[in-house]
Each structure stands twice: as C-alpha cells, then as structure tokens.
C-alpha cells in the first residue's frame, strides 16, 4: 500500500492548537491500519504524548458475546473512536474557564432587580449602596460595569429600556457658547461668588420649572434644589407666570429668620416667570444665567431627569395629584447618591441643618 507523507499537510497548523475532528478521524483510520501512536504523531506533526492522550480519551470498551456448543463466551475489546474523543473534548471545553459570578450571587441579583424595577434605582446606586451598607458579603457584590453587562446580555429581569437614563443618554458636546443677555432681570451669574460655584457653602439654590403640556392653562412644577446637598423641593403652581411663582415661594417670606440661614442665594434662568424674583425676599441674593446655557444650572437639569422618570413630557401636571408629587419629592431626596458615598440628599441636608443649629 502506498502512503502519502501526511506531515506536509499539518505543518501550517497553529502551534499548540488542539486536535481537530479531522485529525481525530485520521487517528481512527490509522489505528485500524495498525499504525503505532508514535508513527501517527509523526504523520500529524504532533507530540507522541498528544496522540496517547487523545487515544486514551476516545477509547471505549466493547463487549462481545459468543455462543458456541451451548456455552456463552464474553470478550471485551478496546477500540478508539474519533467521535467519542471529540465529545469528550467538547465537554471538557464547556467546563473550563472561570465560573460566571452571576451564578453564585442570585440573592443580590434579585435584590438589585427589585430596586431597579420598583424603586427605579440605577445599577451604580444598587452596587454602591449595597457596598456602603454591607447588605451582602463583598464577594457577592459585582462591579457596576458587570451589572450593566449582565443587563445587556439579558441575564436579569431588568432590561435596558427600564434604565431610562441610559436610553436617553447622548454624547456630550464640548462646544459651549455663552450668549449675552438681551434682557437683564437682575445680577448676572458672572458676579456670583466662587464659593457658590464650588459648592463649598450650604444654602445656595437653583430654581426652575417643569412643564407638562404646553398649554398656558396647565399647572407647572416649581423646582428648588440646594446645590451642595442636592436636596429638592417640588411645588405645584397654577401656571408659568410671575404671580404663580410668587405664591409658590411665599414661604420664603414666612419665618425669615430661619430661612435666611437656609436660603442665601437662588440662581435662575431668564424666563419671564422669574421676572419679579429679585423683589421676593430681601435677604436672598438672586443671580440670573445667560440665555441658552442650561449647564449653568446643571444641578436642576440633573434633577429634572429624575422627575421625568415619573412625569413624562406631554403629561398634564393638572392630572398629577399633590400626593404623587410629594412621593416623587420624597423618592428623590431619599435616593442614595454616589457623590455622597451612597448617602441620601435628605441625610446630607439634615446634617447641614444640625450644623446651623449648633452654631
């Protein structure tokens, strides 16, 4: 019988690669022909031990029963099969590698799903809050990136569509142009002290409105957020007018002695509803932003995204009850924040108030 020099066929294979099914089939054929393991190794350009291991994995014991002269004889033969070898190889490959972490942290994943779906927490808040409060052993709390990856792979009940902030996120545009004010309602933000910008001092607020339907008769939400603690105050007013804003902020004139410690300044945009803001309270400094510069009131903008989780654009504020607004307000102030090491805005606000009373 004439044999081809098979060494040439396998010289281009990748070094240290595993045996292929084709190579296993050749081993089976050559073993039937009676070739030794070392000869097969030479033909495949493999190490002899590799062939020995493959034959060991793919060899099965076969039972033969022969009946002769009313007697039964049992024989056992060992034979190598390429498919048996390949099945063992595939099974071993499926079991190799590190065990996925999500298999061993079912309780955390159930808890995180509940927080993201019911309480509308973000993945980062779930991870950070669990670590800060030691709700689970540290080995059972994954990284924020891992949690996002598992959501992307549909390994959790939470889906990307449930993470409202994620589906709305856009790439930031670094080109910002500041326009000059065409109308001046009061002191420009350019004159605002640096200590307000850096959030070093408590008592500096941003004010804005959140609209539902674009109708003059529809009520709006008046929002006040303290820059240092991110503590939010939501007030439902009857319209986007200066009179409605004045009524909503009437509490600033009440108990002025306490309020002037808590409300030192308010930063607003140039909307007409805030035209009489400077006349509202003598002890509050009012600053007005440049037009079309929402980043100058970045805290308010970030807080509005939280409100929109519950009140979508186009929803009439008239249909939103005061009880629901209160619950939204409480949820925002009790949401753990990464910037506070997963403490809440309410906790930070109370801490600042206690410090004022101790002075």
Residue 173 lies in a domain: no
Asked if residue 157 and residue 298 are part of one domain, the reply reads no
Per-residue pLDDT of the chain (359 residues; tens, 9 = 90+): 444 444 444 545 656 789 999 999 999 999 999 999 999 999 999 999 999 999 999 999 888 888 888 888 888 888 999 999 999 998 888 777 778 898 899 999 999 999 999 999 999 999 999 999 999 999 999 999 999 999 999 899 999 888 876 655 655 555 555 555 554 567 888 899 988 989 999 999 999 999 988 887 889 999 999 999 999 999 999 988 889 998 898 888 776 666 788 999 999 988 888 888 877 767 888 999 888 888 888 899 999 999 998 998 889 999 999 999 999 999 999 999 999 999 999 999 999 999 988 76
Rounded-to-integer distance, Cα 51 and Cα 66, Å: 33
Q: What is the dihedral of CA 192, 198, 199, 204, to 10 degrees?
A: 10
Residue 182 lies in a domain: no
Residue 176 lies in a domain: no
| Structure confidence at residue 15 (pLDDT) | 63
Tell me the backbone φ, ψ of residue 44, rounded to 5 degrees.
-90, 0
What is the DSSP code string of 101-145?
GGGS-HHHHHHHHHHHHTS---HHHHHHHHHHTT-S-GGG---HH
Cβ partners under 8 Å of residue 280, min gap 6: 246, 249, 252, 253, 286
**Residues 191-229, buried b or exposed e (16+ Cβ, 10 A)?**
ebeeebeeeeebbbbbbbbbbbbeeeebbbbbbbbbbbb
Query: 333 is written with which tokens?
Result: 């102030």
Asked if residue 115 and residue 87 are part of one domain, the reply reads no
| Structure confidence at residue 97 (pLDDT) | 77
By residue range, what is the domain housing residue 26?
A: 6-95
Asked if residue 211 and residue 326 are part of one domain, the reply reads yes
- Among 50, 75, 95, identify where a domain stops: 95
| Structure confidence at residue 39 (pLDDT) | 94
Q: What is the pTM of this model?
A: 0.69
CATH number at residue 242: 3.30.420.10
DSSP helix, strand, coil percent of the chain (3-state; round to 5): 50, 15, 35
Q: What is the dihedral of CA 277, 279, 281, 284, to 10 degrees?
A: 60
CB count within 10 Å of CB 232 equals: 25
List 267's β-bridge partners, or say none.
206, 287
Asked if residue 108 and residue 83 are part of one domain, the reply reads no
Rounded-to-integer distance, Cα 20 and Cα 25, Å: 9
Cβ partners under 8 Å of residue 52, min gap 6: 37
Asked if residue 113 and residue 155 are part of one domain, the reply reads yes
**Structural domain count of the chain:** 3
| Structure confidence at residue 291 (pLDDT) | 83
Rounded-to-integer distance, Cα 297 and Cα 175, Å: 17
Asked if residue 124 and residue 48 are part of one domain, the reply reads no
| Structure confidence at residue 201 (pLDDT) | 92
């Amino acid at each position: 019988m004439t044999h081809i020099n098979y060494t040439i066929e396998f010289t281009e294979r990748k070094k240290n690669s595993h045996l292929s099914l084709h190579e296993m089939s050749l081993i089976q054929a050559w073993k039937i022909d009676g070739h030794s393991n070392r000869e097969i190794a030479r033909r495949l350009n493999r190490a002899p031990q590799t062939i020995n291991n493959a034959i060991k994995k793919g060899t099965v014991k076969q039972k033969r029963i022969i009946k002769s002269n009313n007697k039964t004889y049992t024989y056992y033969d060992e034979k190598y099969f390429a498919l048996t070898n390949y099945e063992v190889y595939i099974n071993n490959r499926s079991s190799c590698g590190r065990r996925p972490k999500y298999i061993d942290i079912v309780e955390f994943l159930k808890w995180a799903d509940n927080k993201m779906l019911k309480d509308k927490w973000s993945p980062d808040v779930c991870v950070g809050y669990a670590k800060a409060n030691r709700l689970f052993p540290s080995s059972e709390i994954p990284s924020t990136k891992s949690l996002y990856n598992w959501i992307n792979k549909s390994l959790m009940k939470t889906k990307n569509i449930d993470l409202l902030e994620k589906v709305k996120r856009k790439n930031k545009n670094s080109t910002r142009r500041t326009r000059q004010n065409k109308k001046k309602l009061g002191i420009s933000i350019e004159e605002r002290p640096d200590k307000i910008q850096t959030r070093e001092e408590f008592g500096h607020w941003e004010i804005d409105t959140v609209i539902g339907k674009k109708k003059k008769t529809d009520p709006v939400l008046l929002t006040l957020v303290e820059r240092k603690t991110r503590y939010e105050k939501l007030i439902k007013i009857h319209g986007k007018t200066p009179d409605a804003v004045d009524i909503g902020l009437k509490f600033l004139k009440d108990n002025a002695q306490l309020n002037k410690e808590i409300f030192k300044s308010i930063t607003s945009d140039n909307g007409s509803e805030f035209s009489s803001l400077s006349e509202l309270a003598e002890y509050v400094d009012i600053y007005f932003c440049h037009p079309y510069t929402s980043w100058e009131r970045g805290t308010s903008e970030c807080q509005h995204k939280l409100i929109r989780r519950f009140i979508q654009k186009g929803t009439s504020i008239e249909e939103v009850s005061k009880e629901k607004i209160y619950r939204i307000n409480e949820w925002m102030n009790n949401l753990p924040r990464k910037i506070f090491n997963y403490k809440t805005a309410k906790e930070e606000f109370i801490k600042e108030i206690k410090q004022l009373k101790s002075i």
